[in-house]
Amino acid sequence: GAGVSQSPRYKVAKRGQDVALRCDPISGHVSLFWYQQALGQGPEFLTYFQNEAQLDKSGLPSDRFFAERPEGSVSTLKIQRTQQEDSAVYLCASSLVASGELFFGEGSRLTVL
């Protein structure tokens, strides 16, 4: 499809497990973002890539969170040793140029038991 694609859509993990969430942005989009959305809240910024360069990771909540975009296209958000407070919807967004007009995927819902 032509939109931002995220997988898996749903992930259940036991506390302490590592998880990896994938984002396939719109083809040709230079900028890629990850946001975290807790239940009943607005999305919160995690990190930003321009091509393969991670230019802003100020929103990553701890060193258990790691994101990469090695070839400037697909991105992976990895969470190590998951905790219950990591339960949220993780949103990926991309844009053609650096602006506030983002195209969002449907998100990956992570539940940590």
Partner 1 sequence: GNSVTQMEGPVTLSEEAFLTINCTYTATGYPSLFWYVQYPGEGLQLLLKATKADDKGSNKGFEATYRKETTSFHLEKGSVQVSDSAVYFCALSERGAGGTSYGKLTFGQGTILTVHP
Give the binding site for partner 1 (CB under 8 A).
3-4, 31, 33, 35, 40-45, 48, 56, 91, 93, 95, 98-107
Q: Which is nearer to partner 1, 14 or 101 (CB)?
A: 101
With respect to partner 1, which residue has the nearer C-beta, 73 or 80? Answer: 73
Q: CA 106, 5, 83: angle at the middle one, nearest 5?
A: 60
CB of 65 to partner 1, least distance (A): 16
Three-point CA angle 89, 49, 63, nearest 5°: 60
Between 28 and 40, whose beta carbon lies closer to partner 1? Answer: 40
For residue 19, give the DSSP letter: E
Name 99's Cβ contacts closer than 8 Å, sequence gap at least 6: none
